[in-house]
Structure 1
Amino acid sequence: MPHPPQLRIPATYMRGGTSKGVFFRLQDLPEASQVPGAARDSLLMRVIGSPDPYGKHTDGMGGATSSTSKCVIVSKSSKPDHDVDYLYGQVSIDQPFVDWSGNCGNLSAAVGPFAIDAGLVDPDRVPRDGTAIIRIWQANIGKTIIAHVPMTDGQVQETGDFELDGVTFPAAEIQLEFVDPSDEGEGGGAMFPTGQLVDELEVPGVGSLRATMINAGIPTIFLDAADLGYTGTELQDAINGDPQALARFEAIRAHGAVRMGLIERIEQAASRQHTPKVAFVAPPADYTSSSGKRIAASDIDLLVRALSMGKLHHAMMGTAAVAIGTAASIPGTLVHAAAGGGDRDAVRFGHPSGTLRVGARAVQVDGRWTVTSAVMSRSARVLMEGAVRVLPAV
Structure 2
Amino acid sequence: GDKAKEEEMKEGMQESEHEHSHGKEVSTFEDSEVKDRSLSDWKGDWQSAYPLAKSGALDEAFKEKAEKTGKMTAEEYKAYYLKGYESDIAKINIDGDTISFTDESGKTVKSAYKYLGTYIQNWSTGTKAAMYRFEAEDKNSGAPIYVEINDHMIEPAEPEHFHIRFSNESFDAIKDPESYWPTFYPAAMTAEEVNDELAGHDHHEETEYDEHVWLSLKNAELYVNKIAEDLSALDAANAENYKKNAEAYNKQLSELDTQYADVVKNAANKYLLFGDRFPFRYLVDDYGLDYSAAFVGCSADTEASFETVRFLAEKVDEKKLGSILVIENSDQKIANTIQQNTQEKNQKILVLDSMQSVTEKNIADGETYLGVMQKNLEVLKQALQ
TM range (shorter): under 0.3
TM-score (ref. length: structure 2): 0.23
Which one has a larger percent helix, Structure 1 or Structure 2? 2
TM-score (ref. length: structure 1): 0.22
Report which of the two structures shows the higher radius of gyration computed on alpha carbons.
2
Which one has a larger percent strand, Structure 1 or Structure 2? 1
